[in-house]
Amino acid sequence: MAQPQNLTPGQAGLAKRLLWTFFLLCCYRIGVHVPIPGVDAQAIASFFEQMSGTIFALFDIFSGGGLSNVSIFALGVMPYISASIIMQLLQVVSPEVKRLYKEEGQAGRRKITQYTRYLTVLITLIQGLGIAVGLENMSSPSGLPVVLQPGWSFRLVTMMTFCAGSVLIMWLGEQITDKGIGNGISLIIFCGIVVGIPRGIIRSIELIQAGDISIFLAVCILALMAAVVVFIVFVERAQRRIPISYAKRQIGRRMFGGQNTHLPLRLNTAGVIPPIFASSLLLFPATIGQFSQNEYVKLVSEFFQPMSLVYNVLYVALIFFFCYFYTAIIFDPKDMAENLKKNGGFIPGIRPGERTQNYIDGVLSRLTLSGGVYIAAVSLLPMLLIAQFNVPFYFGGTSLLILVGVAMDFMNQVESYVISSQYGHLMERARKSGRLTR
């Protein structure tokens, strides 16, 4: 394809990356609609209509409808995310994994990435076997089995199909990250949620036409959603900047250091991990109650329905737990204090070493508490609207957090690419004109 004459090299490179990203996301969406063999699609659709409020509904959102279609991409990116989090948790309990992260540099990170891929395949095979066995035990509303020919042949085909689909999604995400714009895995999740928004809008229009939601209430909900989005953008950009000063050092005849900078700490360090994990854990009892015929199991599962008091209290408690837990994993105040001390940096008024570590840990703890309050408020408010006014689930707080966070990160990476391209182009022009010598 010929390059337009009015585009600079940086703009042409950005357009190429954006087209590549769009093409790979289209490939992902095509795969979502390719079903696995041997399954009655209509029976599956009827089954998922009854699974609202369970863990299946949550996973179906993140897979972009792939789970409800029982497609080759049914598991989505959840196995890869689970494997990545497990590898991060292993840093705490395994000195070998921690050494790979911190001491071996790029080679160690490549090994960790390879181990994450292997673990993703293992998780996918286990989940594929569980889904295959579950499908064999399902039946349509008319009583016909969902699986046409159950047995180990169907289970093995399902396991291999899901495994191949998850590996392909993982490859698509890596290709988007390397050759496109943005984080590939995050964009795939973003794409899966965005495609459900038109369905939610259509559902809302149907509710307005049926008289279940008044026009005034719909406008109020829309205005509230816009306010929530603005609030999310404001908090996601919020930082606590700790001032850092560097002592002056003389090396030979030159003086180095003496600079003042800051250490930026995000208000929401844990991101969207806490609500995703909290929802996954609490929706397990409701999911088990859907399959079990035991009256006691059904009675217990009713306490864990998304709109119950027990569910909401535990949901908030788990959000705070995962906020502190995940922040402690990805941010180590001891390492930060040691690095500052090695490089001659210090916080004004705070002694280097243990005092600096305690100060950073205290600031981070207060920020994590504020971040937990923010995540809990954003996650619970849309959920209460869903319960009160029957608003579609696609407008949930977790979905809004992911959409806004990924969109902001994507725009930041586009801006960074444009600036770096312009800077590189200026350097190249200066070198060719002879004003810049090697």
| pLDDT given for residue 328 in this prediction | 82
| pLDDT given for residue 438 in this prediction | 45
Task: Convert the pLDDT of each residue in 98-153 to its tens digit.
Answer: 777 766 667 777 888 888 888 889 988 888 887 787 777 776 666 667 777 778 88
| pLDDT given for residue 404 in this prediction | 86
Task: Convert the pLDDT of each residue in 353-412 to its tens digit.
Answer: 888 888 988 999 999 999 889 988 888 876 676 666 655 555 567 778 888 888 888 888
Do 381 and 305 lie in a common domain? yes
Do 151 and 230 lie in a common domain? no
The total of other beta-carbon atoms located within 10 Å of residue 391's CB is: 23
Is there a domain that residue 229 lies in? yes
416 contact partners, CB below 8 Å, separation of at least 6: none
Is there a domain that residue 232 lies in? yes
Task: Convert the pLDDT of each residue in 284-336 to its tens digit.
Answer: 666 565 555 667 766 766 666 666 777 788 888 988 988 888 888 778 888 88
Do 86 and 209 lie in a common domain? no
Domain count for the chain, please give it.
2
Do 273 and 179 lie in a common domain? no
What is the average pLDDT value for the chain, to the nearest integer?
78
Q: What pTM did the predictor assign?
A: 0.77
What domain range is 309 assigned to? 196-395
Determine the Cα–Cα distance for residues 222 and 213; give it in Å rounded to an integer.
12
Is there a domain that residue 151 lies in? yes
Q: Domain holding 272: CATH number?
A: 1.10.3370.10
DSSP 394-420: GG-HHHHHHHHHHHHHHHHHHHHHHHH
Q: What CA–CA distances, in Å, run from 54 to 48, 93, 114?
A: 10, 32, 33
Is there a domain that residue 14 lies in? yes
State the pLDDT confidence band at 1, using cuts at 50, 70 and 90: very low
Task: Convert the pLDDT of each residue in 232-264 to its tens digit.
Answer: 888 888 888 888 887 766 666 666 556 778 888
Calculate mean pLDDT across residues 262-279. Answer: 82
Is there a domain that residue 246 lies in? yes
